[in-house]
Amino acid sequence: MPTYRHPGTVITDHRFAVPLDHADPSGERIEVYAREVVAAGRERESLPWLLFLQGGPGGRSPRLVGRDGWLDRALDDYRVLLLDQRGTGRSTPADRQTLPGRGDAAAQARYLAHFRADSIVRDCELIRRELLGEDGRWSLLGQSYGGFCVLTYLSYAPEGVREALVTGGLPGLRSTAPQVYRAAYPRVQRKVEAHYARYPEDVETVRAVVRHLREREVRLPGGGRLTAEAFQAVGTMLGTGAGSHSLHYLLEDAFLPGVPDDQLADSFLAGVQDNLSYLGRPLYAVLHESIYGQRSASPEATGWAAETVRADFPQFDVDRALAQDRPVLLTGEMIYPWMFGTDPALAPLSEVAELLARRAEWPDLYDPQRLARNEVPVAAAVYHDDMYVDTDDSLATARSVRGLRTWITNEYEHDGLRVSGGRVLDRLIRMVRDET
C-alpha cells in the first residue's frame, strides 16, 4: 500500500477486489480504489473512520491537496477514506475505451446494471470489514448522489454505520424518474429567471447564441456538435453558489468583438465544452436516470424521462422563445438521448444508454420500513433552493427516517460542503452528536 505526504496529511492508497455482481461472489471481480487520508502526526492513532461518498453518479472522489476545504474539518476527528466508486477514477474504469471489451451493447448494459448505489454500498461493506474488522463501524458523509448512497446504506447495512451525514442528497424514497423531472423543470426555470434578473444583458446574449446555432453548424474544440439545445445545458452551472456569476463571465465573451459575421469566440467554445463534455464522467450520462429506477415505485423503464417530461414544459422550447421574443430558458442536469449524438465521449455508448433506458424492474434501492426503524444518528443539510435535488422530496424523506435531523438553509447552494470552508460539515457533526 503506497503511502505519501501532502501538506499536513498522510495518504495511503488502497485497492480492493470486489465481485462485479454481489449476488455471485465467486464470479468475476473488479477493482475498487480508495485513498486513506489522515492528519500528519496522527497516522498511528486509533481514529474513527469517515467514508466519503461522492456526488454523481459516475463521479470519482475529490483530489484534494493537503487539508483543503471540508477535509480540514474532517481530519480533526476522523481518518478519512475517499472512495472512487466502481467504474470511476482509479477503480476499474467503465467508459468508451473499456466497455467495448465487454462485448456487444447488450453485454455492456448488463455489466453497467451493476454500477448503481446497491452495488456501491455492498462494495463499501466489503471494504469496511477488511479495514475495520467484522464488528467495526464507520461514519458516512454523502454529498449529493453520495447522500442517495447513504440512504441505500442505511436500508441495506445499517449495522456497519456509526453515524451518517448528508449534504444536498436526500432522495425521494419512492420518486420515479418522471416525477423527479416534473419537479425539476420549474426549479430550473426559477434559477434561470433569477440569473436573468441579476444579469439582464445575458437575456439577449443567450438569444443571440441560440440564433447563431440555429443558423450555422458549430463544432466545439473537441469535435462535439454544439446545437441550440446542447447549449441550453449550460444552465446546469446555476446550481452552485458562484454558478450565476461564472455563467455571466462565460457569456460575456461569447462573440468575437469587431467581427462582422458574429463569430463565436474560441475561448467561449472552450468554456462551453468544459461545462458540457462528459469525457471525464461518462457514467453520469449513461446511468443518470437509472438511479431513480425501483421496481416497487414503478416496474416500468425510466425511458428517457427528462426528454419525455420536457414536452409538458413548452417554455423550454428554443424556437418558441425566439418566435415570441421571450428569454430562452436554459436547462439543468437533465440527460437527453440526443446528447449521445452530439458528444463524442458518449457516441460509442448510445446503444448501451438506450438499452438501460428501456430496462425495467430495477431492484429497490431504499427500504422505507427499515428506515422508519432506523437507529443510526443521521444529520442532513437540505439546501432550500437546491436546483438538483427536490426540497419537498428531501423533507418527506427526512420525516420518514427515524432520528434524522435536518438543517434547512439557503445560505448555501448545492456545493455548500465544498465551498463553506468546513462550516457545513462542522454543523452536521455537531448535530449528529446532539451538540446543537
Active site residues: 144, 386, 414
Contact 146/125 with Cβ under 8 angstroms?
A: no
SS3 content of the chain, % helix, strand, coil (to 5): 45, 15, 40
Cis peptide before 57 (omega within 30 of 0): yes
Candidates 376, 378, 368; CA nearest to 400 is 368
Report how far residue 215's alpha carbon sits from residue 153's, in angstroms, rounded to the nearest whole number: 50
Contact 237/243 with Cβ under 8 angstroms?
A: yes
The alpha-helical segments, DSSP class H, found in 89-200 are 105-112, 117-132, 145-156, 177-198
Cβ atoms < 10 Å from Cβ of 31: 14
Report how far residue 52's alpha carbon sits from residue 240's, in angstroms, rounded to the nearest whole number: 20
30: its cell numbers: 473488479
8: its cell numbers: 499536513
Strand, helix or coil for residue 380: strand
Candidates 11, 152, 24; CA nearest to 90 is 11
